[in-house]
Structure 1
Amino acid sequence: MRICRFDNNQLGVVQGNDIYDVSAALALLPEQAYPFPGHDLLIANLESLRPRLMQLMENAPKKALTDVQLLAPVANPGKIIAAPVNYLKHLEEARADKEIHHANQIGEIQRVGLFLKANSSLIGVSQPVELAHPERRNDHEAEVVVVIGKTGRNIAAKDALQYVAGYCAGLDMTTRGPEERSMRKSIDTYTVLGPWLVTADEIPDPGSLAFRLTVNGEERQNANTKDLVIDIPHLIEFASSFYTLNPGDLIFTGTPEGVGPVEPGDRIEMELEGVGTIAVNVTTMETV
């Protein structure tokens, strides 16, 4: 099932070129008293909602994909976890390119660990990436994104895929510089997620997903998750040994070689096998 959010926080199921508005299913979510939970309610209840989503599609109003504004398919991730240098060739290019490493030490992922991105950086594909520091180098990083489906801590790799709700395509945008990763990658609009969430049952082998990224039609990145240094089950094991993972948490699994700068006016497209294509424009952030 392909699940999206669109327009005024409406819930949709995507089939072909159409979106079925199944927002009425949200009435089945449990009422929550303040404070709201630190996870995404839709993802936490996704399995119980799926029969109702299918039922509603029979008579649901529908719109063409081209007529809606797609939002981030996960509205309220408790945290956004990211894996640095998780492809060997990207590790090599990061160490070789001074404009990437800025004299920072680039270590193997097993040693440097994971990092967190601010939730406020999250956008869907209908919003542009806005460069906050256009005088600096701003790079695209294409990544496969795992959406956690249920709460877990110290999850064994052999059990990890049972904790996955689905997968999305993602862009982990970054401003190059001497600051820590979590700061340079947490700028507003620097976490692109979409175009929708594809549930885990539709991705039988996340360890062999091809993806590619182009800028203005020129291919820059072309890779497959089979080349990950730490694969998806072991990333979940690694992350959950430090953090409790909750429904809606996002894990950006790492970018391959070929990262490069973008400028205002550019258009970035990323195609992920089994999921779809995200396409965003690059602009300059307006200052208040």
Structure 2
Amino acid sequence: MKICRFNFDRIGLVQDAMVLDVTDRFNLQPAWPQPQGDWVVSQVPGLLADLAQATPRNCRTLSLADIRLESPVANPGKIVGAPINYHAHIEEANQDQEINHGHTYTTLERYGLFLKAGSSLIGVSDVIEPRFPDRRTDHEVELAVVIGKTARMVTKEAALDYVLGYAVGLDMTVRGQEWPGFRKSVDTYAVLGPWIVTSDEVPDPNALDLELRVNGGQRQRSNTSRLIMNVQRLIEYASSFYTLHPGDVIMTGTPEGVGPVKPGDLIEASVQSIGSIEVRVASQFAQPR
């Protein structure tokens, strides 16, 4: 099942070239204070059987080509990042002064995970607004894991039971000496889409090809089998430090080939079994508002 968010907070199921509007099956008026996590995502596990009955006969139907796709998660409580989770990316980071700034990267456990601000999140119909003309902004394609139910101190053996599904993620990054959670939390620097593919359609998240192109030229290509910490281990590791709530997103790390983008560039990214996204870098650097 492919679950999308579209046209300013409508909820849909993607079926081939169609989108079935299933918004009315969700409770969109949570009590205050709202439970932690994303309110809509928290309802999905209990609605899967009902959503499976959606057809063009009982839902409003739209063309996928005609809708505005937004981030499939509206309000993640946390966007968790894994900074160096492919060996080849560690090697290139240690060879590039603009990435390492004098640090020598070794293991993910030494540096731990980091958090990206929820305010950095956009969907594929938005544009990335680069900051700081005098600094690099780099692309990083990643498999994104969307948590479906509350997870605290889970084992890697049980970890996938807490996954709602997967999406394509872009962890955009300003290069510099500041901590990753600061440099990676710039507005528009977390891209998620085009939809959530539920976990039943991705039996092994650790065997997926991923690729990124800029203006048609290939920059990154790898497979999640090369993750240092695989998806289950990342969930175990993250949940040992903090509780994961429905709608929390784990960016699993990027492979080698990261590089700068500039205003006007077109980024194309794909993850096997999930889909492809296209997102444009704005034609000028971000302006005051």
Fold shared, TM-score > 0.5 on shorter chain: yes
SS of equivalent to 1:182: helix
Equivalent in 40, 43, 47 of residue 42 of structure 1: 40
| 1:72-120 deviations in Å (ceiling 9; x for gaps) | 0011111110001100000010011001112244341021110000000
Map 1:38-187 → 2, pairs under 5 A: 38-57=36-55, 58-187=57-186
CA shift at 1:36, angstroms?
A: 1.0
Q: Which string of whole-angstrom CA distances, capped at 9 and with x for unpartnered residues, describes residues 155-184 of structure 1? A: 100110111000000000000011110111
After TM superposition, give the deviation of residue 189 of structure 1 in Å: 0.4
Contact 2:94 2:103 in 1 (8 A): no
The residue number in structure 1 matching 2:12 is: 12
How many Å apart are 1:66 and its aligned residue?
1.6
Q: Tell whether the 8 Å contact from 2:30 to 2:39 is kept in structure 1 after alignment.
A: no
Instruction: Output one character per residue of 1:27-59: Cα deviation in whole Å (capped at 9) or x when no partner.
Output: 4x6x53211112112221212212332334332
Cα distance in 2, alignment partners of residues 104 and 287 from structure 1: 33
Q: Which residue of the partner structure matches residue 263 of structure 2?
A: 264
Distance 1:96 1:236 in 2: 29
List per-residue Cα deviations over 1:141-160 (Å, max 9, x = no partner): 00000011111211100110
Residues 103, 178 of structure 1: 8 Å contact kept: no
**2:74 is paired with a residue of what secondary structure?**
coil
Counterpart amino acid of 2:287? E
Summarize deviations over 1:225-270 as a string: whole Å, max 9, x none.
Answer: 0000011100111001101111111000000000000000100000
Q: Distance in 2 between matches of 1:52 and 1:234?
A: 32
Gaps of 5+ in 1: none
SS at match of 2:3: strand
- TM-superposed deviation, 1:134: 2.5
Query: Which 4+ runs in 1 deviate beyond 3 A?
Result: none
Structure 2 vs 1, CA of residues 243 and 138 (structure 1 numbering), >3 Å: closer, same or farther? same
Aligned length: 286
How far is the alpha carbon of 1:214 from its aligned partner?
Answer: 0.2
Alpha carbon RMSD of aligned pairs, Å?
Answer: 1.2
Does the 8 A contact of 2:147 with 2:245 survive in 1?
A: yes
Match of residue 243 from structure 2: 244
Q: Is the CA contact 2:166–2:196 (under 8 Å) kept in the aligned structure 1?
A: yes
What does residue 188 of structure 1 align with? 187
Contact in 2 for aligned 1:82/1:114 (Cα 8 Å): yes
Q: Contact conserved, 2:10 with 2:23, CA < 8 A, in 1?
A: yes
**Identical-residue share of aligned pairs (%):** 51
The 3-state SS of whatever aligns with 1:89 is helix
